[in-house]
Chain A
Amino acid sequence: MSSLFAFTLLGLFTGAAYAIVASGMVLTYTTTRVFNIAHGAFGMVLAFTFWDFTERQGMPALVGLLLVLLVVAPAIGWFTQRFVARGLGEGPVSVSLVVTVGLLVGLIGVAQQVWPPAPRVVLPFKPESGFEIGDTYVTAHQLITIACSIAVAGLLYALLNHTRIGTAMRASVDNPELLKLFGGRPDTVAALSWAIGISLAALGGILLTPTVGLDYYALTLLVINAYAAAMLGRLKSLPLTFAGAMGLGIAESYAVAYLPTDGFWSTIRPVIPALFLFAVMIALPQAQLRIGQVKGIVTAPVPSFRNAVGWGGGLLAVAAVLVAGASTADALLMGTAATYAIVMLSMVLLTGYGGHVSLAQFTFAGVGALAYAKLDEPNLWGLAMSAVIAGLVGALVAIPVLRLTGLYLALSTLAFAVLMDKMIFQQDWAYKFNGTLQTERLSVAGVSLGTDAVYVWVMVLVFVLVGLGVLALRRGTLGRLLIAMRDSPSACGTLGLDLRWFRVGLFGLSASIAGLAGALFAGLRGSVGAADFLYFQSLLMLLLAVVFGVTSVTGALLGGIALMLMPVWQSDHPSLAGVLFVLVGFGAVALGRDPNGLANLLFKVGRLVRDRFEPQLRERLDGLLPQGGSVDLAAAGAAEVPLRTMGDVSDDAAIEGSVR
């Protein structure tokens, strides 16, 4: 009995810290409709800042704490709202997700650059003091945590219910436009709630550091704990969020106390937030479709079939020349790029066309690789089965979220990725802890694709084929449906489309493409392990896909190459490793509002060049050219625009006007 009491108490202490983090996240989400995936990452950076103030610069703990909570954190929150988050809430959910994932990666980069990896200790507050309740020893730090959470709850209650600005905040939850009409200032409200929200992330992060450790990734993942807690209140209710946080804290504490410490059950502890999240999600009622959302997004042009085949053939020819002369190491790199590019094609389908965001795409590749290794059928049948298995797992992830909206789907994929990363992939029947699985090269019709050059070329071939498939799908009935569903789910619903199963199908299809890439990757490498499929890789992948253009096959190819080059560049310049994350992260923040990315710029340049030079070229060659033939890059780029010849001005105008 007394041990139950002790563990409940312990759970409440952790829960109190989660509650602080979660309430900050709920505050920013409800007032600005931006779900900040980087919430934990902000807490992480500010916990490092606190360490810097107190341990490196030697400030007293209280001074350091107040400086972080009352000056640095609010300033960062204000700045982020002003220059990053402003206007995101009215845009598509996918955009705000990408931008905040960009923040997350960028912040990790900042932390790694400013505070390079080294053992750092943050001591609990008043480490020497504590007292007994019954036969349970309670430390002063735990007491301070509880006190802080009570103070946060009280202050938030007072702020929201008894101040003018608090009333404005609550009004802004319902309708910021209306608030403006009645003389409120939504911008002030938004800036204030971000300032408070980031400050709470900092407080929670600092309180948890003695337990979690001053770690770039562990503190960043606190966003999952916060999200799990906040889900109980549907990301809206603060009291329910507190209840959820306490429940989560207690669940974790009991797991430590009562579950066996070896075998399968020992791996459960780090994934309890994710499991808690799925449990809450299944219990939530059906969400209602919203009307009056965003529509009309300008997407990169869809090339004609002929053009796509032409470019695919060109790519295969270039790849053949490249792999023929490549060393083994370079061939491996090219194969890796092809893997990434194929996974990014799955994102073109899901995110670019469908408007849904997955933060677990590379985890699905991991599932495909696992299936390929375990099936031990290194032939086309094994390859296809691996893709199917990954697709089924993808559908399985989407089903619990069936009744909820896109935001929840995206967030639960992050929880899923962490779950696979920290638990499933570590199991003895999977990759094993720190282990690898041996795989064989694929053979087609009994002929093994043994040499690196041939294998890599086949991977490029698969990329081309999948790319053509994705484009064919986009041009057909399903493609139109995808775009329609992205533009107005409500209209699709009232026309008779069951959005829920359509979404599950889309998610499954996209996961199976990723799984295919994973299986090919396994064959390429000869051995794969859990470390090849870390959840963080999925985030980088999403960001690069968006930066290079998640609406086009070209974007996927460029993104894949860039992602392959990242670790190469990082190992060449180890002192600047963090800078690259900063570049990618903040690059996505800057470019995330236009999912067409850099690839679309290329298309535009192509069009401009064609408009400028094609007439002259035609005059010179006079009649030598076949009508409508694609002579050079410019002409081919231009032929990808069947409908829109109005040019660049209208593109930009349509983007501006897309948020009605």
Chain B
Amino acid sequence: MTLLEVDRVVVRFGGVTAVNEASFTADGGAITGLIGPNGAGKTTCFNVISGLQKPTKGKVHFQGRSITSSAVHRRARKGIGRTFQRLEAFGSLSVRDNVRVAFDIHRGFRGVLKPGAADVEALLERVGISDYAGERADAIPTGAARLLELARCLACDPHLLLLDEPSSGLDEAESEAFGALLRELAAEGRGILMVEHDMDLVMNVCDTIHVLDFGEVIASGSPAEIRADARVQQAYLGYSDEPVREPMEAQA
């Protein structure tokens, strides 16, 4: 079932075209990878889907309806959750309170009247950051903070998860556990769209992969198809694992 459809989206920043006529989809109950070299426009795509960036042209459909002009919080209420490449944890709150805030927002007035404390602990346990529960969110390691952002998303019980480089900062064992968690979440029927540089993780867990280069989708298919695609290999020749800041980000 197609959950999300990005339809010929264009984003221009002044003279720079960050995303150029990009079209791709993500299905419910499946993990979709969005990969590409730094500066390919992946995060900008996420910003367009979650409503933080207005597209210059093009449309975004969610569950068959256009959400192109919906406000950020409305999209969230419809079931789109996201994490951030540059962390947006609530730094002065504890890890536990970060997740609690998400629950409160999700439950609206009921949350104000009766905060649900038990759910918070269960969720922290599930993503594997219970050990950090009492610590300030700006004092925990990057990998844990990324998992915290995921937990915060899950508190809102989203249909679609947008994960922006979720595994960076995790070691190998953690990364593997994370892959298992992703498959679990997909099995619950959630759609997952993931920007990721860890190719092992991407190739292992994704059902479908879209490759972005210079803002255009140059290939789409199963991991095996993507691995064999000549254009993808070409685009990745200059690829580096260095955490270079994407110029697009700077302007977003």
Question: Which residue from chain A places its CB closest to the CB of B152 in the assembled complex?
Answer: A495
**Whole-angstrom CA separation of A173 from B76 in the bound complex:** 31
Interface assignment of A481: CB less than 8 Å from any CB of chain B: yes
Contacts of B90 in A (CB 8 A): 295, 483-484, 487-488, 491
**Whole-angstrom CA separation of A480 from B73 in the bound complex:** 18
Interface assignment of B88: CB less than 8 Å from any CB of chain A: yes
Among A288, A295, A481, A498, point to the contact of B91 (Cβ < 8 A): A295
Is A487 a contact of B72 with CB atoms below 8 Å? Answer: no
Among B97, B106, B247, point to the contact of A178 (Cβ < 8 A): B247
Contacts of A497 in B (CB 8 A): 73, 76, 105
**Whole-angstrom CA separation of A646 from B105 in the bound complex:** 31
**Whole-angstrom CA separation of A109 from B6 in the bound complex:** 58
In chain B, residues 74-109, which have Cβ atoms closer than 8 Å to a Cβ of chain A? 75-77, 80-82, 84, 86, 88-94, 97-98, 100-102, 104-106
Contacts of B82 in A (CB 8 A): 494
Contacts of A491 in B (CB 8 A): 84, 88-90, 149, 152
Contacts of A493 in B (CB 8 A): 51-52, 72-73, 76
Interface assignment of A654: CB less than 8 Å from any CB of chain B: yes
Mask: chain B, 126-137; 1 = CB below 8 Å from A; 0 = not:
000000001011
Which of A30-38, A296-304, A613-621 binds B?
A296-304
Q: Could you pull out 5 A-B pairs where Cβ atoms are within 8 angstroms? A: A291-B47, A297-B91, A488-B91, A495-B102, A658-B138
What is the predominant secondary structure among interface residues of chain B facing chain A? helix
Mask: chain B, 109-149; 1 = CB below 8 Å from A; 0 = not:
00110010000000000000000001011110000000001
Is A488 a contact of B72 with CB atoms below 8 Å? Answer: no
Interface size on A, residues (CB 8 A): 37
**Whole-angstrom CA separation of A85 from B112 in the bound complex:** 40
**Whole-angstrom CA separation of A484 from B105 in the bound complex:** 11
Q: Are A291 and B84 CB-contacts (below 8 A) given A477-B104, A487-B91? A: yes
**Whole-angstrom CA separation of A477 from B81 in the bound complex:** 21
Contacts of B75 in A (CB 8 A): 494
Is B112 a contact of A477 with CB atoms below 8 Å? Answer: yes
Contacts of A174 in B (CB 8 A): 250-251
Question: Which residue from chain A places its CB closest to the CB of B106 in the assembled complex?
Answer: A496
**Whole-angstrom CA separation of A298 from B93 in the bound complex:** 10
Question: Which residue from chain A places its CB closest to the CB of B76 in the assembled complex?
Answer: A496
**Whole-angstrom CA separation of A291 from B82 in the bound complex:** 13
Is B76 a contact of A494 with CB atoms below 8 Å? Answer: yes
With A484-B90, A494-B51, A495-B153 given, name 14 new contacts (CB 8 A).
A291-B252, A295-B90, A296-B137, A481-B101, A488-B88, A491-B90, A492-B101, A495-B105, A496-B73, A496-B156, A497-B105, A643-B94, A643-B134, A654-B138
Question: Which residue from chain B places its CB closest to the CB of A482 in the assembled complex?
Answer: B101
**Whole-angstrom CA separation of A490 from B90 in the bound complex:** 10
Of listed A288, A297, A298, residue having the most chain B CB within 10 A: A288
A290 → B minimal CB distance (Å): 8
Is A480 a contact of B101 with CB atoms below 8 Å? Answer: yes
Interface assignment of A175: CB less than 8 Å from any CB of chain B: yes
Is B115 a contact of A477 with CB atoms below 8 Å? Answer: yes
Of listed B52, B53, B54, residue having the most chain A CB within 10 A: B52
Contacts of A178 in B (CB 8 A): 247, 250
In chain A, residues 404-433, which have Cβ atoms closer than 8 Å to a Cβ of chain B? none
Interface assignment of B20: CB less than 8 Å from any CB of chain A: no
Interface assignment of A292: CB less than 8 Å from any CB of chain B: yes
Among A289, A477, A481, A654, point to the contact of B72 (Cβ < 8 A): A289
Is A483 a contact of B52 with CB atoms below 8 Å? Answer: no
Contacts of B111 in A (CB 8 A): 477
A37 → B minimal CB distance (Å): 26
Is B71 a contact of A498 with CB atoms below 8 Å? Answer: yes
Interface assignment of B176: CB less than 8 Å from any CB of chain A: no
Interface assignment of B50: CB less than 8 Å from any CB of chain A: yes
Interface assignment of B249: CB less than 8 Å from any CB of chain A: yes
Among A296, A478, A481, point to the contact of B138 (Cβ < 8 A): A296
In the complex, the 4 A-B pairs of residues with the closest C-beta atoms, listed nearest first:
A296-B91, A296-B138, A496-B76, A295-B91
A interface residues (Cβ-Cβ under 8 A, vs B): 174-175, 177-178, 288-289, 291-292, 295-299, 477-478, 480-481, 483-484, 486-488, 490-499, 643, 654, 657-658, 660
Is B91 a contact of A175 with CB atoms below 8 Å? Answer: no
B43 → A minimal CB distance (Å): 9
Contacts of B81 in A (CB 8 A): 494-495
**Whole-angstrom CA separation of A481 from B98 in the bound complex:** 9
Mask: chain B, 143-180; 1 = CB below 8 Å from A; 0 = not:
00000010011011000000000000000000000000
Among A291, A299, A480, A495, point to the contact of B52 (Cβ < 8 A): A291
**Whole-angstrom CA separation of A202 from B52 in the bound complex:** 40
Is B52 a contact of A289 with CB atoms below 8 Å? Answer: yes
B51 → A minimal CB distance (Å): 8
Contacts of A298 in B (CB 8 A): 92
**Whole-angstrom CA separation of A566 from B108 in the bound complex:** 45
**Whole-angstrom CA separation of A92 from B128 in the bound complex:** 32
**Whole-angstrom CA separation of A660 from B80 in the bound complex:** 27
Contacts of A297 in B (CB 8 A): 91-92
Is B88 a contact of A490 with CB atoms below 8 Å? Answer: yes
B9 → A minimal CB distance (Å): 16
**Whole-angstrom CA separation of A477 from B117 in the bound complex:** 11
B42 → A minimal CB distance (Å): 14
Among B84, B93, B102, B136, point to the contact of A490 (Cβ < 8 A): B84
Question: Which residue from chain A places its CB closest to the CB of B111 in the assembled complex?
Answer: A477
Contacts of A495 in B (CB 8 A): 76, 81, 101-102, 105-106, 152-153, 155-156
Is A483 a contact of B92 with CB atoms below 8 Å? Answer: yes
Contacts of A494 in B (CB 8 A): 50-52, 72-73, 75-76, 80-82
Of listed B75, B80, B136, residue having the most chain A CB within 10 A: B136
**Whole-angstrom CA separation of A493 from B53 in the bound complex:** 13
Contacts of B77 in A (CB 8 A): 496
Is B138 a contact of A288 with CB atoms below 8 Å? Answer: no
**Whole-angstrom CA separation of A291 from B91 in the bound complex:** 14
Contacts of B134 in A (CB 8 A): 643
A639 → B minimal CB distance (Å): 18
**Whole-angstrom CA separation of A496 from B77 in the bound complex:** 5
Of listed B50, B90, B152, residue having the most chain A CB within 10 A: B90
Q: Are A654 and B53 CB-contacts (below 8 A) given A477-B112, A495-B152? A: no
**Whole-angstrom CA separation of A295 from B90 in the bound complex:** 7
Contacts of B153 in A (CB 8 A): 495
Contacts of A654 in B (CB 8 A): 136, 138-139
Contacts of A498 in B (CB 8 A): 71, 73
Contacts of B247 in A (CB 8 A): 178
A549 → B minimal CB distance (Å): 16
Contacts of B52 in A (CB 8 A): 288-289, 291, 490, 493-494
Contacts of B94 in A (CB 8 A): 643
Contacts of A488 in B (CB 8 A): 88-91
Q: Are A484 and B93 CB-contacts (below 8 A) given A296-B136, A477-B104, A495-B106? A: yes
In chain B, residues 24-42, which have Cβ atoms closer than 8 Å to a Cβ of chain A? none
Is B72 a contact of A480 with CB atoms below 8 Å? Answer: no
Q: Are A499 and B73 CB-contacts (below 8 A) given A175-B250, A291-B86? A: yes
Question: Which residue from chain B places its CB closest to the CB of A478 in the assembled complex?
Answer: B112
Contacts of A484 in B (CB 8 A): 90, 93, 98, 101
Contacts of A477 in B (CB 8 A): 104, 111-112, 115
Contacts of A288 in B (CB 8 A): 52-54
B190 → A minimal CB distance (Å): 16
Among B47, B89, B112, point to the contact of A295 (Cβ < 8 A): B89
Contacts of A496 in B (CB 8 A): 73, 76-77, 105-106, 156
**Whole-angstrom CA separation of A179 from B93 in the bound complex:** 33
Contacts of B91 in A (CB 8 A): 295-297, 487-488, 658
**Whole-angstrom CA separation of A524 from B25 in the bound complex:** 67
Contacts of B252 in A (CB 8 A): 291
Contacts of A478 in B (CB 8 A): 112
A517 → B minimal CB distance (Å): 26
